[in-house]
Structure 1
Amino acid sequence: MRTSLFLFAVFFFLAPARSGFFDEKCFKLKGKCIESCQINEELIGFCQKSLKCCVALQPCGVNKEGS
């Protein structure tokens, strides 16, 4: 009984820390946590509270010089 109570307490207190880690990782990848991604965004992971981490797609084959 003590073991199960201990494990419950550990998981209960670690769950918010783990979720916050994914939010921070999303923001460092220049993403945003929202309910659904736009057409020009790509889903790269999940944040807390069932939100999706979305990052804007980079257009391929476009040079900065315009050639």
Structure 2
Amino acid sequence: MKTFLFHLAVLLLLAPAKNAFLDEKCLKLNGRCENYCYKNQELAGLCQTGLKCCMTVEPCGRGIYE
């Protein structure tokens, strides 16, 4: 029973750290954590509490080589 309580305590302490890790990963990709992505954004990953990491899609650059 003591090992069960120990594992439960460890999981409860690590849960916030895991969520912050996902947010930092999204920021490194130049993304933002939002409820939904707009048409000019793509889903790059997940953030904490079910939010989506949205990145702005770069224009394709038409007209550069014309």
Fold-level similarity (TM above 0.5): yes
Equivalenced residue count is: 65
Task: State the 4+ residue runs in structure 1 displaced beyond 4 angstroms.
Answer: none
Match of 1:23 in 2: 23
Say whether residues 1:46 and 2:43 are aligned partners: no
Query: What is the TM-score with the length of structure 1 in the denominator?
Result: 0.88
1:59 aligned partner, one-letter code: P
When the two chains are superposed, the root-mean-square deviation of aligned CA atoms in Å is 1.5
Query: What is the TM-score with the length of structure 2 in the denominator?
Result: 0.89
1:12-64 Cα distance to aligned partner (Å, 9 max, x none)? 0001001100100101110000000001111111111211000011223x16x
Q: Distance in 1 between matches of 2:10 and 2:44?
A: 28
Q: Where in structure 1 are there 5+ consecutive unaligned residues?
A: none
Q: Where in structure 2 are there 5+ consecutive unaligned residues?
A: none
